[in-house]
Structure 1
Amino acid sequence: MLARSAFFFAFLAITLSAAGQKTAPAALSKLYILKDKRYLMRGDQKPFFWLGDTAWELFHRLTREEADLYLKNRAAKGFTVIQAVALAEFDGLTQPNAYGQLPLKNNDPTQPVEAYFQHVDWVINRAGELGLVVGLLPTWGDKFNKKWGKGPEIFTPENARRYGEYLGRRYRNKPVIWILGGDRNPEGETRMTLIRAMAEGIRSGNGGTQLMTYHPMGDSNSAGFFHSDTWLNFNMFQSGHAARNKKNYVIQRQNYSLFPVKPTLDGEPRYEDHPVDWKPEQGYFDDFDVRQAAWWAMLSGGCGHTYGNHSIWQFFDVARNPPISAARTHWTRAMDSPGAFQMGYLRRLYESHPWTRLLPEQSVILNNNPDDGGHQVAALSEDDNFLFAYTPHGRPLTIDLSRLKAAPQLLAYWFNPRDGRTQRIGTFPNTGRQEFKPYAAGPGTDWVLVVDDAKAPWAGYGLKK
């Protein structure tokens, strides 16, 4: 047992070190999307893998020292995007930040407080130093559509544009991706106009040099409102926290097939340690729930994925703030929840391969595949030389190996998304159908089958050569 534990922690140290390699801030401040492609690119012409974390209250509740602790933790685990809000949800207009500063004078978006935004500056700059991009929400949605929460509604199309221009100019050359919305849909023509005005303001301020998307409510999708708008560079949907086994691959597949082609991702799936449907008596989502959501979405065509932890987004500390929706873990402990590590394993497997070549391809799965919590998903490279297939409950996979026609000799192995380790299965010709049976099965015992061109330089991730 001791030897096994020593091996695991040695492996963990190596993989975390690889994940924590920094990308130069200049490359992160110039993200872009190639025409008709479904992934993001860095300024150094390398693919950008979006691995996000929801840190909505980051600017509002943490000191610089605490923010530094959090950002270092996320960088070490392989996260690449930190989603945070300038005008925060919880009394963000009337409760000051950790330094006693409010963001606006008289709740007027045209009168930002310099000292407050200097703190935002510091966090964004520190994130960039650590190789992280900030997914910056100008405001939480209750400030323009108070369906619930504190509000008040302070935005009009006119002041939204001026506020957007102010932020766009301020963060023009920073590692920032803009996320409008904030858990609200733009209900009504005035709110649609307001969002478009804010987007126009940001583009005016930054010269249109940064990417932009929209974060909607649960079970909603930015494509339903703004897909044809030129300012919306990629789509974001929220599968939300209402149920286990939420089929986020359905929206992912729908967005993947839209024209014009735009990348898409699940920007708020079920959070680790969040009560199911906000009801603690129904239990809490665990690391399997977040893994299932991530692999379902990614293999259905995601350009990346956002993880979330219920105690992290609100930075829960009972000594400072009451728990929101039955939060139960101090945020500093929640940072090291199992699911956070496991998102890094996902990224590492993807980046060990030419992952931007992957296309969703369910037809390679030949076995019966019920549309339940054990639903299997697969993606095949457009070069027909590798595939990934995910089986959430460890059910056997029968794969059409003839689809890998560019690779006469195939190497198959299991990737364990729970600990990031791999196990060799064997080599096979690229003919016929082949059943692959995992070493263990049952709900939560998930596996990723990898089949590579045996002669490819990236074949056999994690296997001993």
Structure 2
Amino acid sequence: MKEYLANRKEKGFSVIQIVALDPEADLEMRSPCGEKALIDDNPLTPNIRYFEYLDQVIQMAEELELYVLLLPVWGQLVVGDNWFGKKFDKIITVDNAYAYALWLGERYRAQSNLIWALGGDRHPVHDGVDYRNLWRKMAEGLAKGVLGKDLKWNQPDKAWSDLLITYHTSCFGNPPLYSTTDYWTDEDAWISFNMLQSGHNPSIRSYEQVEKDYKKAPVKPVLDGEPNYEEMPSAFPFTYPIQTHGEWNVRRRAYWSLFAGSCGHTYGHHSIWRFARKKDERTLYTWQEAMDRPGAWQMKVLRDLMDSRPFHRVQPCQEMLTHPENCADGCLEDHRQACMDSEGSFAWIYFTSGGTEKIDLTHMKGSTIHAWWFNPRDGQCYDSDGSLLTRPFASISEKTIVTFTTPTAGKENDWVLVLDDAEVGYAAPGSNTSNLQSEKKEEAEDEVFFPTVE
């Protein structure tokens, strides 16, 4: 586990998703040392030796300055079935949810690096059964355990803000409803931020749901907690030969999401979410091999881009584009997503497959705009002809609508157009130097989530 956490720290991740009780890969829910999680499959009699291992993992993460998004249970333990149609005992019930959450919250009351998520890949109303009361009792149990306060799920209280908590939905349905906001209302005072599971269907336009949640009132942060995972099968039930998500699928979901207004994003890999030790027809790599797959490294490229500008000021800005006028239903691989900081000093436009776009520069401040082509595949900047550059490829003095064409175009040829107010003096996008050449870098890490991993 130390190897894994150190690897993720090196790549710029800040949050690790962990499930305390997850039967998907092992119905006995055993630790690496073989300790069962529960005595007699009862959440009210937890095996302390199992949870001592979880203690160690959370502590290791804290020592590396990593947060842990902790799910007390996976949804299968609540609804009693898996995605292959098998049935199981419902171990977590409305009668024991509060007590289990209370125990878990008390155990980790002193931890300063925990964020919480309920749900575990299941809608709160599953196969016609309403489990919302169970999840609400679990939220109240966590509040009592972590905060020592008797909070009610539907009663606003400032103390709820001291317990960062969300809900992890599923992505199934027709049409798929995969946001926290699709199932919970403003009455649920326990929800601090909204989570999506845009899932593993490659045709989902996740930026639409991010935009929808971003504009909701009251305002809450939103992030995609389970998008396309690298080398995850892209069809379920599985079809053969297996088709999987490549690094491009991973990148585009991340850039769409962050530029559309999300506070962070999840990276996942098919071999890592279940820590695969063996390969098979659906598992191309062991978890150790998968840690350094291209998509994982490209999250470091994304993090470097975020760190090179004051990301905490970024807001969606599709009005800079002329493309949305031509973006009908089904526009996916040609989508462009734009954002700009609140002070108008820089803007980013993501071209999913490259191409040409007219950009309205009147939204930006400054008399001169510097333009850069940033490559999300390698983190380098290029000229319009594809030559490496360490300076802007253009300086533009006219604040008007300007046409830009990416250095390359076509499937998997994504690019980010970076536009800067020249007077501010930003360094090259993704540069390891200060995000300002003339001023001290602003610290934003306490204000936002950066790309996450499960």
Name the counterpart of 1:256. Answer: 214
- Partners of 2:353 and 2:288 lie apart in 1 by 31
Q: 2:145 aligns with which of 205, 208, 226?
A: 205
Cα distance in structure 2, aligned partners of 1:444 and 1:316: 27
Distance 1:91 1:450, change over 3 A: closer
Is 1:429 paired with 2:381? no
2:317 paired with 1:361:
yes
SS at match of 2:32: coil
Separation in structure 2 between the aligned mates of residue 334 and residue 152 of structure 1, nearest angstrom: 33
Deviations 1:101-129 (A, max 9, x none): 11111111111111111000000000111
Moved over 4 A (4+): 462-465
Distance in 1 separating the partners of 2:25 and 2:100: 19
How many residue pairs align between the two structures? 393
Q: Is the 8 A contact 2:304 2:430 kept in 1?
A: no
Q: Distance in 1 between matches of 2:218 and 2:264?
A: 19
Q: Please tell me whether the aligned partners of residues 245 and 289 of structure 1 are also in contact (alpha carbons under 8 angstroms).
A: no
Q: Is the 8 A contact 1:227 1:235 kept in 2?
A: no
Measure how far apart 1:459 and its partner are.
Answer: 4.6
| Aligned pairs (5 A) from 1:51-66 | none
- 1:361-418 Cα offsets, whole Å, 9 max, x none, are 11101246532211111012221221110001111221101111x2221111011100
Which consecutive unaligned segments of at least 5 residues does structure 1 have? Answer: 1-66
The answer (yes or no) to whether the contact 1:236–1:266 under 8 Å persists in 2 is: yes
CA contact (8 A) 1:215 1:222 kept: yes
1:99 corresponds to 2:33 = yes
Aligned residue for 1:42?
Answer: none
Instruction: Find the counterpart in structure 2 of residue 381 from structure 1.
Output: 341
CA distance in 1, matches of 2:417, 2:223: 22
- Return the offset for 1:151: 4.0
Identical pairs, percent: 38
Name the structure with the higher helix share. 1
Q: Distance in 2 between matches of 1:313 and 1:216?
A: 17
Alignment of 1:201-240 (within 5 A): 201-207=141-147, 208=160, 209-218=162-171, 219=176, 220-228=178-186, 229-240=188-199
Aligned to 2:157: none
Q: Structure 1 CA distance, aligned partners of 2:103 and 2:26?
A: 19
Uncovered stretches (5+) of structure 2, i.e. residues with no partner: 148-159, 383-391, 438-454
TM-score normalised according to structure 1 size: 0.81
Paired with 1:365 and 1:153, the residues of 2 have a C-alpha distance of 50
Q: Is the 8 A contact 1:275 1:284 kept in 2?
A: yes
Out of 81, 90, 108, the position equivalent to 2:24 is: 90
1:267 alignment counterpart: 225
Report what 1:73 is aligned to: 7
- Against the structure 1 CA distance between its residues 100 and 87, is the aligned structure 2 distance closer, same or farther, given a 3 Å change threshold? same
RMSD between aligned residues: 1.9
Counterpart-to-counterpart distance in 1, 2:88 and 2:71: 15
> Which residue number corresponds to residue 344 of structure 1?
300
Amino acid at match of 1:224: D
CA separation of 1:224 and 1:416: change in aligned 2, threshold 3 A: same
Distance 1:344 1:399 in 2: 27
* Residue 122 (structure 2) pairs with residue 179 (structure 1): no
- Secondary structure in 1 matching 2:209: helix
Indicate the SS of the match to 2:118.
Answer: strand
Structure 1 counterpart of 2:156: none
Where 1:162 maps in the other structure, the secondary structure is: helix
- Any conservation in 2 of the 1:93–1:104 contact (CA below 8 Å)? no
Q: Residues 92 and 227 from structure 1, CA distance in 2 versus in 1: closer, same or farther, beyond 3 angstroms? A: farther
1:166 is matched with which residue? 103
Residue 50 (structure 1) aligns with? none
Paired residues of 1:380 and 1:387 also in contact (CA < 8 A): yes
Q: CA deviation at 1:439?
A: 1.0
8 A contact 2:21–2:29 mirrored in 1:
no
Q: Secondary structure at the match of 1:87?
A: coil
